[in-house]
Amino acid sequence: MPRTKETGRLGDETPALDGKSPAALAVTTRERIVAVAAELFHRQGYSATTMRQIATGVGIKAASLYNHFPSKQELLFRISYDTMVEMHAAVLDAMAGVVEPEERLRAFVGAHTKYCIVERYRARVADELRDLEPDNLREVVAMRDRYEGVLRRILDDMNEATDGAVRDVAVTANAVATMASQVSAWYRDGGRLGPEEIADLYAELAVGAALGSRAQRTRAERTPAALSGKGETGAGSADG
Amino acid sequence: MPRTKETGRLGDETPALDGKSPAALAVTTRERIVAVAAELFHRQGYSATTMRQIATGVGIKAASLYNHFPSKQELLFRISYDTMVEMHAAVLDAMAGVVEPEERLRAFVGAHTKYCIVERYRARVADELRDLEPDNLREVVAMRDRYEGVLRRILDDMNEATDGAVRDVAVTANAVATMASQVSAWYRDGGRLGPEEIADLYAELAVGAALGSRAQRTRAERTPAALSGKGETGAGSADG
DNA sequence: GACAGACTAACGAACGATAGTTAGTTTCGG
DNA sequence: CCGAAACTAACTATCGTTCGTTAGTCTGTC
């Protein structure tokens, strides 16, 4: 490691690193790069973020970034892909051992929401697929599709268990997934509720949305509307 | 109007304009610029879109864009602001004359969702506030806050009418608003359901989320959880 | 009705700034 | 004392924007 400046000591010549951001807590330079890049990509978008900004945030020069990542695009891909994997794992872990469909939905949405709050920079970057180059895009989309398949299966099970209370599985799956992912669009630290509490609320919102109120259900029986939408990606297709 | 090339005739030297995009239907050059820019901003993001790309899409050169807009930023602002105004008007129109809170929620979410589908390019650009410069941002955010206040008031009314069935008004408002806005993230033309049908489904999802299922409500009475969250922006604050 | 002048909207060319990236060199830690 | 990882310096490409110009069109006056 060069330069007398140690990774642990901050605030001397490092212009960024406010101390509270996750970048300050990261140990290795590589981890700090990822953390800083995620925050900047989140705040400014990929294209509007420069390698020099990332470098300044980490406390090094732009050229030094290339000792850790071969390109800006690869940096974006690693953030997106690793986040997708991590989120998937967190959700599967939360659902482990839970068998009742409605409880599985709670576990899924709760864990997903919580992850999207706690890791909100990464999560938002991973949700923005537009800047990924074709090959990288394919890989991340495949990951995401597998992930959303889990949700669709839960809703299918709920539909079966409740004799068709879910009005349209495909649309509901998309709606619930986007709702939970976008929690990071409005969440801010220091608010009235913490991540856990919001995650619990979101889980209940999802259950309510999926099953509907009793009034809705009786109304639906009277006027049969859309079918259950089983076995389709959505009303449209996925994005490419 | 210069150049023998008339605005109405297309496809001679204009390299873009595939005929099906809204840009092809626009009459004036200014309208076509807005339509092309909205689609490109949506697909690639603001920073990744160049003035030369927009110009090519319209069928003119980059320099000519400045006869219609003083800057790229102003172009973004006009798209964002006008869309916000239009959407607000569409939703208020749909709610006109509807008094029952639950029906007002249906009207709000239905109209909002439908607009976000039909005008999905514009709507997604207007939802991306990160590229707006401070002054422009303030104006659009003010517009949006007024808009979301309407939703919060509806949920407050529902809460009163149902003796507290809405678990947390602030969180629910944010969740419903983001859910509906993000419908454009997955909708594609030619799918199983059209805009109207999806909008209706979303309205029901919102009602279900807001009121919850009967099972949820009895469960909530046993274990009093979060308060109703009245009079606050959310669990965090809004963005700035 | 004709014609001078203002206006609109297009063009090609170019400018300054800055982007991602590379090459070559220096500097410590193990 | 070797190599990982930092540095300085520079290259090339492209960006938003400006400039000077030109062709067509509207407007008002005689």
Residue B8, min C-alpha distance to chain A (Å): 32
Assign B41 a pLDDT band (cuts: 50, 70, 90). Answer: very high
Q: What angle do the packed helices B195-211 and B101-118 form, to 10 degrees? A: 140
Alpha carbon distance B167, B184 (integer Å): 27
Q: Which residue has the tokens 């809705």?
A: A216
B222 phi-psi bin (left φ>0, alpha ψ -120 to 50, beta other): alpha
Indicate the class that CATH gives domain A22-67.
mainly alpha
Q: Evaluate whether A55 touches A65 at the Cβ level (below 8 Å).
A: yes
Would you list the domain boundaries of chain A? 22-67, 73-222
Task: State whether the Cα torsion B16-B22-B28-B32 is positive or negative.
Answer: negative
Task: Inform me whether the pLDDT recorded for A98 exceeds 60.
Answer: yes
> Which of the nucleotides in strand C have any atom less than 7 Å away from a protein CB atom?
8-14, 18-24, 26-29
* Percentage of the residues of chain B whose pLDDT score is greater than 90: 76
- Nearest-Å Rg of the Cα atoms of chain A is 21
Quickly give B210 CA vs C25 C1' distance in Å.
64
At the topology level, CATH places domain B72-222 in Tetracycline Repressor; domain 2 (1.10.357)
Element (DSSP H or E) covering residue B230: none
Task: Inform me whether the pLDDT recorded for B10 exceeds 50.
Answer: no
Q: Residue A127 has what DSSP assignment? A: H
User: Per residue in A60-74, pLDDT tens?
Assistant: 999 999 999 999 999
Which of A209, A238, A239 lies closest to B208 in CB terms? A209
pLDDT value of residue B220 = 54
Encoded tokens for B212: 């919850």
Task: Inform me whether the pLDDT recorded for A18 exceeds 70.
Answer: no
Q: What does CATH list as the number for A73-222?
A: 1.10.357.10
Q: Is B229 helix (H, G, I), strand (E, B) or coil?
A: coil
Assign B27 a pLDDT band (cuts: 50, 70, 90). Answer: confident
**A203-220 burial, b for 16+ CB within 10 Å, e for fewer?**
bbbbbbbbbbbeebbeeb
Residue A110, min C-alpha distance to chain B (Å): 13
Quickly give A183 CA vs D13 C1' distance in Å.
39
Alpha carbon distance B74, B183 (integer Å): 27
CATH classification of B22-65, choosing from 2.102.10, 3.30.1490, 1.10.3470, 1.10.10? 1.10.10
Residue of B nearest to A240 (CA): B186
Q: Evaluate whether A80 touches A121 at the Cβ level (below 8 Å).
A: no
